[in-house]
Each structure stands twice: as C-alpha cells, then as structure tokens.
Amino acid sequence: MKIALIGYGKMGKIIERIARSRGHEIVSIIDIENLSDFDSPAFKSADVAIEFTRPDTAIQNIRNCFKANVPVVVGTTGWALSEVQDELKAGNHTLFVSSNFSIGVNIFMAVNSYLAKLMNRFNNYNVEMTEVHHIHKLDAPSGTAITLAEGILKQLDRKETWTKEVEGKPSDLAIKSIREGEVPGIHTIRYESEVDSITITHDAKSRDGFALGAVMAAEFTAGKKGLLGMSDMLDFLKCL
Ligand SMILES: NC(=O)c1ccc[n+]([C@@H]2O[C@H](COP(=O)([O-])OP(=O)(O)OC[C@H]3O[C@@H](n4cnc5c(N)ncnc54)[C@H](O)[C@@H]3O)[C@@H](O)[C@H]2O)c1
C-alpha cells in the first residue's frame, strides 16, 4: 500500500518504521517545512495518509487530505470532529479517527465499560480516573482518558459528566492528569468503597503499540468511505 505521512515527529517516525516492516511504501512525508507537498503528485498518489501532528493543525491537514481525495487516518488528539463532519459527508470522503490506536488500550476500554455497567448495582463505590503522560503532551486530560470517561458515563447511571481534577458534585467523574518524564501513557480507573478498592490500569511500554494500530487502521481504511473508528476495525468494541 502507498502511505503518506503527515507529521514526522515521534509518532510519524515510528509509523514509518512499522509501515515499511509490513511491506508498505512511504510515498510522501509532510511536516511544517514542506506543507506545499499536499499539492504534489506523490501525496495525491497515496492510498491513505496517516496524520499525527498537533491539536491546532489537524483540522487543516484533514481538509488538505479531503481536497487531494486521499483517505486519512488521524491520531492527533485535542481537536473537534464536529468541525469536519459536514465536509466529510458532503464530499463523500474517508476519515478514520481514534484517540488511541493501541489494541491493548481498546481491550482495556471494553473491560472499563463492562466494569462500569456492573457497578450500577453497587453504589457504595465511587470512581475516579488518573492519566499520566510525558511532559511534552499538549492536551489534558488525554483523548484516551476522555474516551474512557465517556465509556463510564454511558454505562454508569450515577455519573453524568467528567470534570478536570476535582469532583464538584457526586455525579461528576474526576479525571486527574499528571505530566512527568517521558511516560508513553498510563490510564488508571479506580473504584473505591469504604472496605476495598478495585483498580484497572493500562500502562503502555512504548509508542510502538499506537503506531502499529495506526498502520493497521490505514490497512483497514483503504478502499472504504465515511467516518471510521476502532469499533469498525475491532468487532468486540461494537457491543459497548
Ligand atoms: N491516537 C493515538 O493513538 C496517539 C498516540 C500517540 C500520540 N498521539 C497524538 O499524536 C500527536 C503527535 O504526537 P507526537 O508524539 O508524534 O508529537 P511530536 O511533537 O513528536 O510530532 C508532531 C510533528 O508534527 C509536525 N507538525 C506540526 N504542525 C504541522 C503541520 N501543520 N503539518 C504537518 N506536520 C506538522 C511537527 O513539526 C512535528 O514533527 C499528538 O496530538 C499526540 O497526542 C495519538
């Protein structure tokens, strides 16, 4: 498959390595110094583009892919999908979005939803979430923490909204964000009662898991239309 990379930072470089190891050809690499390459024949020849840049540049990059008619897989977090949804539909384009491409995290999301559903019967437990990431991360809470929180809000009737850092009222689900060192990503969900606590944690060992998932998403995306996500690729997420 012919893949174009948008963003050649930490993730872009790992994605390049993993994509090549799976037999794909990298036909174009776009970063801030060569944005005009969106108009190049090489970029337009890609079967799919993979975008890992910054929250404030993702939307323009998606629009550039739509303009070039190149399906795009977006890993950048911290931007609003609603800003491109109308254009996606109107132009019959292809966009795969996930706040976390790691297969392990998506298994964790399934466990998180199941646990939240179970906890409806046990209201003596309160729940909170903590996420830890490297100091370079621009958004907080992480996109993954927000997705996990949405999974809990959907299943656990006594929680209505997620909040940053503190639980203002009992129906709030607090997400605490810690930024330290070079941590690739730790997400912990903790249910606490007076007598015990139940904790589930996903701890990424490196960025490779995200990059592999993004390349698998690119393989899945080629030839498809519309808005795609991990629940299209991983059938066990459909029932959540
Ligand atoms: N969805 C996931 O699974 C997942 C996993 C890891 C990281 N991320 C997200 O991916 C994004 C990138 O992460 P990273 O660690 O590679 O960051 P990074 O800072 O190492 O790399 C970002 C790159 O984007 C480039 N860039 C900036 N503006 C650009 C533009 N307009 N067009 C093209 N390139 C541009 C920068 O020069 C840089 O090389 C972040 O939003 C991060 O939160 C998502």
Where residue 153 sits, what CATH number does that domain have?
A: 3.30.360.10
- Looking at the fold, whether 92 and 13 belong to one and the same domain comes out as yes
- Looking at the fold, whether 92 and 135 belong to one and the same domain comes out as no
* Residue nearest atom 44 of ligand 1, based on CA coordinates: 75
Nearest-angstrom CA–CA distance, 187 and 173: 14
Task: Judge if the beta carbon of residue 141 lies within 6 A of ligand 1.
Answer: no
At 115 the pLDDT is: 98
- Looking at the fold, whether 191 and 215 belong to one and the same domain comes out as no
- Looking at the fold, whether 69 and 97 belong to one and the same domain comes out as yes
* Residue nearest atom 40 of ligand 1, based on CA coordinates: 76
The beta strand positions in 75-230, using DSSP E, are 94-97, 126-133, 161-164, 172-179, 186-192, 197-203, 226-228
- Looking at the fold, whether 95 and 164 belong to one and the same domain comes out as no
What is the CATH classification number for the domain harbouring 26? Answer: 3.40.50.720
CB 106 within 8 A of CB 239: no
- Looking at the fold, whether 97 and 107 belong to one and the same domain comes out as no
Domain count, the chain: 2
At 61 the pLDDT is: 98
- Looking at the fold, whether 112 and 35 belong to one and the same domain comes out as no
- Looking at the fold, whether 159 and 145 belong to one and the same domain comes out as yes
Give me the residues of the chain with pLDDT under 70, please: 239-240
Mutate to test the pocket of ligand 1, among 53, 102, 142, 183 (most ligand atoms within 8 A of CB): 53
Q: Closest ligand 1 atom to the C-alpha of 8?
A: 39
- Looking at the fold, whether 86 and 159 belong to one and the same domain comes out as no
Nearest-angstrom CA–CA distance, 115 and 10: 33
Nearest-angstrom CA–CA distance, 7 and 10: 9
**Nearest alpha carbon to residue 6 among 44, 42, 41, 58:** 58
- Looking at the fold, whether 23 and 142 belong to one and the same domain comes out as no
CB 55 within 8 A of CB 138: yes
At 217 the pLDDT is: 98
- Looking at the fold, whether 107 and 194 belong to one and the same domain comes out as yes
- Please give, one letter per residue, the 3-state secondary structure of 171-187: CEEEEEEEECCCCCCEE
Catalytic residues: 133, 137
d(CA 107, ligand 1 centre) in Å = 24
Task: Judge if the beta carbon of residue 14 lies within 6 A of ligand 1.
Answer: no
Domain with 38 in it: 2-101+208-237
- Looking at the fold, whether 61 and 6 belong to one and the same domain comes out as yes
Please tell me the pTM assigned to this model: 0.88
